[in-house]
Structure 1
Amino acid sequence: MNNEQATSRPTSPIPADDLNRQLTVADADGEELQRVSIVGNNYTILVSGAQTAGRYCLIDMLVPDGGGPPPHRHDFEEMFTLLEGELEFTFRGKTQTVRAGSTVNIPANAPHVFKNKSGKTVHMLCMCTPAGQEELFLAVGFPIDSRTSPPPKPTPEEQAEKVKLLAALLPKYRTEMVTA
C-alpha cells in the first residue's frame, strides 16, 4: 500500500451538513411554543416538522382524566412515552394499561385509541414520523396560553366548526377515524 492510499478517505455515504438547519432546544413551558387544546387535551409542539425537515415532530401532551382521542389510524408511525400517570391503549381491538416509564410504538396504518381512566392527568411525549400531525393539531385545536392552561369551553357552534374542519383535513394528513 502506498502513502496516497493509506491517507485518502473514501467518499462518505452521509450527505453534507445542511447549514440551513439549526439546533432546536425546546422548554415545554417556553412562551415561544405553539399550544392547542383538542377534546380537552393540552398539546405543546416541542419540535415541529419545519425544524426537522419533515422527518418527525415531538409533542408534549397533558391528557386529563377521561381524555383521549376517538379511535383512529394514520399512515405514519406514532410513539408515546409516558412520563406521568397511566393510560389504557387499545391497539387493533386489544386493550392494555400502560404506565409511566413505558414507551408505546404504534405502527403506521394500525387502528388505535388511548383513554385516561386513572383519575389523574397523564403527561406524555408523542413523536410522529414523518411530521405533519402537529400541523393537523394546530389547525383543528383551540389555542391556549400555557401548557397547563385550563381547556377552553367552545360554544356548540365553534365545536361544530372544528369537527367540520377536522373531517375536511383528515385526508390531507393521512388520518381516518375508525369505529371501535
Structure 2
Amino acid sequence: MEIFTGQELSETKAMQRVIANPDYTVTFITTAAESGNRLTDMEIELRPGGGNGMHRHLNFTEAFIPIEGALEVQVGKNKLLLEPGERYTIPIGVPHNFSNPGRKPIRFRVVIEPGHEGFEYSLRMLYGLANDGRGEIKTWDDMLRAAVILIISDMRLAGKQSFINPFLPLLYRLACRKGYDLEMVRKYCI
C-alpha cells in the first residue's frame, strides 16, 4: 500500500530520531528504511501510569523487551508483567496494549517485524498532535486525523472502540480530501 504521493515526500529531510509527548519518549534505533524493511527497532521511556489502549496490528508482529523496570502487557484478556531481559512477541492481529504499572519511568524496546514506515510516521503524528494539545478525539476533524494515523500504521482499535474499524477507509478518504494526511506529514514528519 502506497501511503503518500506528495512531491514533498520525494524531497524529505532526515526525520527526527527522538520524539516525545507528555507520557512517552521514543528513540528510533533502526528504521524500516535503514533495515530494508526487515524491522523497526525503538527504545521507549514510559512515565508512571502511561500506556496505550487496546489495538491490533494487521501486518507486523510487535516484540516488547523491558530494559529498566517492569512493563505490563495485556494480550487479549491476559495481563503479563515483563521484567528486564524478558521478551514477549505479539502475533499479527492479536489485540494488546502496554502500560507502566510502577511509580518510576521505565525503559523498554519495541521491535516490529517486518519494519513499517507508516507506523513510524504515525508515531510522529500522534506525538505531534499530543504536543499540540490535540491528543484526544473531541471533534470531527480529530476523528479524521485519527483515521489517517490508524490507516497508515496498519493498526486497528480493539475492544469497545473497535466499532469504528469498518468506517476507517471512508474516514481516511475524507481526511485525504481535506488534506489532513499531507498536512500532518509536513508538520510532524518532515
Change (3 A) 1:104 1:120: same
Shift of 1:173: 2.1
Give the superposition deviation at 1:162: 6.5
Partner of 1:44, secondary structure, is: strand
Q: Which segment drifts farther, 33-42 or 50-59?
A: 33-42
Residue aligning to 1:138: 124
Q: Give RMSD over aligned pairs.
A: 2.4
Structure with the bigger percentage of helix: 2
Give the match's secondary structure for 1:136. helix
Aligned to 2:163: none
Question: 1:176 is matched with which residue: 142, 153, 156?
Answer: 156
Rounded Cα–Cα distance in structure 1 between residues aligned with 2:123 and 2:131? 17
* Rounded Cα–Cα distance in structure 2 between residues aligned with 1:127 and 1:178: 21
Which stretches in structure 1 are left out of the alignment for 5+ residues? 1-31, 144-151
2:56 is matched with 73
CA 1:163–1:116: 2 relative to 1, 3 Å: farther
| TM-score when normalising by structure 2 | 0.65
Retained in 1: the 8 A contact 2:120–2:153? no
What letter corresponds to residue 118 of structure 1 in structure 2?
G
The DSSP-based 3-state class of the residue aligned with 2:151 is coil
The residue that corresponds to 1:129 in the other structure is 113
CA–CA distance in structure 2, aligned partners of residues 46 and 165 of structure 1: 27
Higher strand share: 1
Counterpart residue number, 1:84: 68
Identity %: 20
Alignment pair present for 1:120 and 2:104? yes
For residues 5-46 of structure 1, give each alpha carbon's deviation from its aligned partner in whole angstroms, at most 9, with x where no partner exists: xxxxxxxxxxxxxxxxxxxxxxxxxxx952222562111111
> How many residues were matched structurally?
140
CA distance in 2, matches of 1:116, 1:163: 27
C-alpha distance 165-115 of structure 1, shift in aligned 2 (>3 A): same
- Corresponding position of 1:147: none
Give how far 1:79 is off.
0.6
* Rg comparison, structure with higher value: 1
Structure 1's 95 and 171: CA in aligned 2 closer, same or farther, altered over 3 A? same
